[in-house]
Structure 1
């Protein structure tokens, strides 16, 4: 697939999407949001896992404040509702596992774009910054949703009010991301994690995502009912049968994603 602002590569059942505006630290403009949305909606048709990362020294610096739409009067509410919301939902609701591979700074909407993924892996040199208050804005792009759930209210409030850099290691310790890894092991770690997910029981992964996310809204009885329903569906998949057979035969399972 050819895009103006991102790179899209498919290999080993993994769709690798790279934000590709390194001259502006992969700042988000209208074209990039369109490209990303199309790629994220297309990827599940041919891949079993998605890796989202950035080109150059940053993951994403957030909204490109030098973009013409900003300097001529950006309608922030319209942009968030019509451009950011579909993009974030495409990541959050994606039927296949998603990994944000945070290779460098992730700031503002860029940080929250990363946090929308199922798993966030960051290089030790990466930082996360809820930079909004620095320019008199409220955290957006899902920040007020992800942060309290991932870090707890106390840490989320401090991150939003002080707008300080959060190191990758601190983000891991706070439960904000899955793991921080040494820079020299970053690419290999992301590749290994992505291959693991791409070779796994894809349909079951989708059910796991559904169950965990709905647990925030459900009482115990409702959640137990949801678990039973989803487990009934998982138990009918070919991958469940393969998993049991592989266990009994003491060999690695060969999942088809069905």
Structure 2
């Protein structure tokens, strides 16, 4: 590993400049600005590293291009699939930026640019880890596949169906989601699950006119209280979800996993300061 780390140190400035090239390219999926151009830039970068790449149109109105790459070692017996996304959120409000969002800048040891932390920086680090290992060792000990999503910031509307249709291409022994924050301790971290998001619009209807609360507050239903009762029925006081069937297909952590999680150091002060 010392030789690998030495290679990284020797090439760090080049790595950063190559990342900056990627960060300078806008790729705003919600407005469809620069996404296809960014995909082509990734194909060029990955190809220079010796990766076999494919541009995979995902269908639909925009036919967004998922970028696939692989580094295959015929002697390897295991395959790692890495998920990342190369689209970014809109940079507004621009007045909140100290420097332009697509002109990467280093301040106090941190890179400031749209996409540097979500998610171009993360999967680019995997790119350079692979390059470093291959340069020093000659080959990876495992096969590595990349799937780089063009629409994550738009909710990945095409991804589920596309993966089902191409499950053989994405077959792997383990999948790694490279999209996530750094642990406050600075230590590498593997997360074994993520919270989901569900958007629901609820309308509570009541009487079609105003009523005096003193005279009619009891017999006439109040939509505000109906909403309160509805919302309180969604979860238990301990935070678990109260919806019937919600946990039917959820694999809970084992006692051993709970024991391991309990041993992970937690810096409450650093967490609250984030």
Bigger Rg, which one: 2
The structure whose RCO (Cα within 8 Å, separation 6+) is larger is 2
TM-score of the two chains, using structure 2 as the length reference: 0.25
TM-score of the two chains, using structure 1 as the length reference: 0.26
